[in-house]
Amino acid sequence: MVGIVGYGAYVPAHRIKSSTIAEQWGSDPAAIERGLLLTEKTVPGQDEDTITISVAAAKNALKRARIDPQKIGAVYIGSESHPYAVKPSGTILIDALGIGPHVHVADYEFACKAGSEAMYVAYSHVKSGEMEYAMGIGADTSQGAPGDALEYSASAGGAAFIFGKTNVLAEVLFTHSYTSDTPDFWRREYQRYPRHGGRFTGEPAYFKHILGASRAILEKSGMKASDFAYAVFHMPNGKFPLKVGKTLGFTNQQMEQGWVVNIMGNTYSGSSPTGLTSILDVAKPGDKIFMCSFGSGAGSDSFIFQVTDKILEVQDLAPKTRDLLNNKKIYLSYGKYAAYRKKILFND
Amino acid sequence: MRDVAIIGVGMTKFGELWEQGIRDMFAEAAIKAMDDAGVKKIDSFYVGAMSSGLYTYQEHLSSLMADYMGQIGVPGLHVESACASGGSAVRAAFIEVASGMSDIVLAGGVEKMWDVEDGTIVLATASDQEYEAYNGVTFPGLYAMMARVYMEKYGLTREELAQVPIKNHKHSVNNPNAQYPFEISLNDVLKSSMVADPLRLMDCSPITDGAAAVILCPLDRAKEFTDKPVKIRAVGAATGPIALHDHKDLTRLEAVKLAADRAYKMAGLSPADISFVEVHDCFSIAEIIVAEELGFFEYGTAGKAIAEGQGTYGGKIVINPSGGLKAKGHPVGATGAAQVIEAYYQLTGKAGARQVPDAKFGMTQNMGGSGGSCIVHILEAL
């Protein structure tokens, strides 16, 4: 049996409300909230970045895994906001957590799917027998251009998963990836903010790839939507994941535990991974969990997990995701938000 | 001048057609129309498109479309008159057949609008670049000003104005080619995002991909191709000032009246003879003003009349049985041709659940910009 042996999430404490951003740009707050099903998002503090978020999430994963960090054979961080263009995020993390030096490290990117692919590769190394434990992390401090629709959703946060063969909390039963050349959202080097193709990001991108991967994994596994206790999809806004889930036959009840976007925003590479941690926090032995990510460019990674009875031993060993989201919130004005997110030009 | 008939029609679905480019859509509509008419070769064609260049960087539609619809060698022409491009293409084809120059002429239109991020700038090329667009106003703004003046002058309420899109969405439910074949409520209209006060999102026609084409031939040859030809009884066309500020009255669209008067005169008919009309509801207020200019209602009364049901089945005249630009969709260059297709379906009894009963004469009204150009066709069931 190969699967998740430790998991953890981290979200920053700062928040900004959709209504604050809407008022800034003269948009109708009610229409925005109705259209995106999003009321607030997380904002990284001035000293937070993808690496600090990854370290915090990984610490929580290690608490639940209860293993010697030295036994981890590989660490992969997937993000589209790695702090350096050239210099790996993963190396800072391993030294912070006492992992390595006999460890393989690589940074991953693929828009919002970088986290799930880090998970997939980590899982594959353990499955193939190459190593005892491997960690995959998805974390981001994504930026939305001022006044752009993405400004309401681009947020910060992440989740870490340690894969192994002993004391497995959630077994990986199946995986399936679906990828094509679909340029719905991109950022050229030296550009500050990404660009996107408007409605082209919907049906030809998000829906096509999530449905492609999801239908294939359901067929491969011989399962149907009603077999699952929970389902989580990439969450660029509140509406898309509910719509794609419904198309596949999932109910709102199956999706609501993992549907963290309405109070978190879209943490890009952290999106479906963080949703997954929220599900693991409450899952019961025997529960099957369906997960499918999406990254622009475009592609989706899907997973089917089955929870074991070991899950009950670990849920309380580290902060639960919805507690992190609900218990500490520092609301920002637009001005403070713009300053923290470095949208204001200082006289450097 | 010979009498002219429509012997076949074809159109794509209207909507977000991600898998099709401009040539694919027009070829689909054209080939469907040729198959419908049972013709393998046409003598000539006209393709209406407002701005294939700015939307898709593609001009030279004569060559491109002849190529892709399998008619290389046949003469063709790209026709442009902003949002009246499609209707203008039909008119040009009508003249070529009526004059005796050609027998089988295809007229249609196409627009590929979803490949650009900001189509509003492209649409603004239908306005006065130097005196309107340069100063930042775009079409929602221009029509919003017309709406504001009309509401002030005639006491039309916001709720009454909303009845135009509500009615058009009721009609589109029965149109399999419509972009938005579903009903909307008063709340949907009043709560939709403000675009240009007082016009909200639900007052505005959408961005749409699509193509439509018709085949014309001399009436005395029509029976070679179909048992149910439709006669183009009349065409009337006119221009108006390009800039809204040069209209003498913002509640009037004089080019529409001029075009309609010319059509009625050529047809020997009056508004009372018309059973249904496809009008250019680019914005909700446009339908109201146009319905008055076409002579169906007294000035200042169309808004209230439509709100009371006079513009739908069982009322005085069915306006936009297809769902209109708002609910059927508005691929700019194709719209004028699609209106003629709706009239054809109605007059041949092929309109399914949206059939206007006992329709003998139908009208189409296609308009460019803020009333800068207008083409009116009157069609007759045979």
Domain boundaries in chain A? 3-169+311-339, 173-307
Q: Position of tokens 């359901």?
A: A218
Class (C level, CATH) for B137-204+231-381: alpha beta
The whole-model pTM stands at 0.89
Q: Indicate if A33 belongs to the active site.
A: no
What pLDDT, on the 0 to 100 scale, is given for residue A343?
87
Residue B253 pLDDT level (bands cut at 50, 70, 90)? very high
Residues A128-153, mean pLDDT to the nearest whole number: 94
The answer to whether residue A149 scores a pLDDT higher than 90 is no
Residue A4 Cα, gap to closest chain B Cα (Å): 39
Please choose, from the candidates A115, A75, A111, A117, the residue with its C-alpha nearest in 3D space to the C-alpha of residue A95.
Answer: A75
* Active-site residue, selected from the candidate residues A33, A48, A112, A125: A112
Fold classified for A173-307: Peroxisomal Thiolase; Chain A, domain 1 (3.40.47)
What pLDDT, on the 0 to 100 scale, is given for residue A195?
87
What pLDDT, on the 0 to 100 scale, is given for residue B116?
81
Q: Position of tokens 């010979």?
A: B2
Residues of chain B with CATH 3.40.47.10: 4-118+207-224, 137-204+231-381
Whether A3-169+311-339 and A173-307 share one fold: the answer is yes
CATH code: domain A3-169+311-339 is 3.40.47.10
The answer to whether residue A348 scores a pLDDT higher than 80 is no
**Residue of A25, A28, A36, A148 for testing the chain B interface, max B β-carbons within 10 Å:** A28
Q: With 0-12 CB in 10 A as exposed, 13-18 as middle and 19+ as buried, what is B21?
A: middle
What pLDDT, on the 0 to 100 scale, is given for residue A206?
98
Residue A74 pLDDT level (bands cut at 50, 70, 90)? very high
Whether B273 contacts chain A with CB within 8 A? no
Whether A28 contacts chain B with CB within 8 A? yes
List, as ranges, residues 175-234 from A with C-beta within 8 Å of B: 197-200, 203-204
Q: CA-nearest residue of chain A to B190? A: A31
What pLDDT, on the 0 to 100 scale, is given for residue B229?
97
What pLDDT, on the 0 to 100 scale, is given for residue A144?
83
| CB neighbour list of residue A37: distance below 8 Å, 6 or more residues apart | A237, A238, A239, A242, A261, A262
Q: Hey, are the CB atoms on B191 and A31 less than 8 Å from each other?
A: yes
The answer to whether residue A283 scores a pLDDT higher than 90 is yes
* Active-site residue, selected from the candidate residues B78, B169, B330, B377: B330
Q: Position of tokens 């943490």?
A: A267
Q: Indicate if A112 belongs to the active site.
A: yes
pLDDT digits (tens, 9 = 90+) for B291-335: 999 999 999 999 999 999 999 999 999 999 999 999 999 999 999
* Active-site residue, selected from the candidate residues A14, A151, A234, A292: A234
Q: Are the C-beta atoms of A338 and A146 separated by less than 8 Å? A: yes
DSSP letter at B261 equals H
pLDDT digits (tens, 9 = 90+) for B335-346: 999 999 999 999
Residue A154, amino acid: A
pLDDT digits (tens, 9 = 90+) for A316-343: 999 999 999 999 999 999 999 999 998 8
Residues A150-179, mean pLDDT to the nearest whole number: 97
Question: For chain A, what's the residue count?
Answer: 348
**What does the alpha-carbon distance between residue A329 and residue A189 come to, in Å, rounded to a whole number?**
34
Q: CA-nearest residue of chain B to A204? A: B18
Q: Indicate if A234 belongs to the active site.
A: yes
Q: Hey, are the CB atoms on B117 and A199 less than 8 Å from each other?
A: no
The answer to whether residue B117 scores a pLDDT higher than 80 is no
What pLDDT, on the 0 to 100 scale, is given for residue A26?
92
Q: Are the C-beta atoms of A29 and A18 separated by less than 8 Å? A: yes
What pLDDT, on the 0 to 100 scale, is given for residue A198?
87
* Active-site residue, selected from the candidate residues A40, A48, A80, A151: A80
Residue B162 pLDDT level (bands cut at 50, 70, 90)? very high
Task: Provide, as residue numbers in chain B, all residues whose Cβ is less than 8 Å from the Cβ of A203.
Answer: 16, 18
Residue A73 pLDDT level (bands cut at 50, 70, 90)? very high
Class (C level, CATH) for B4-118+207-224: alpha beta
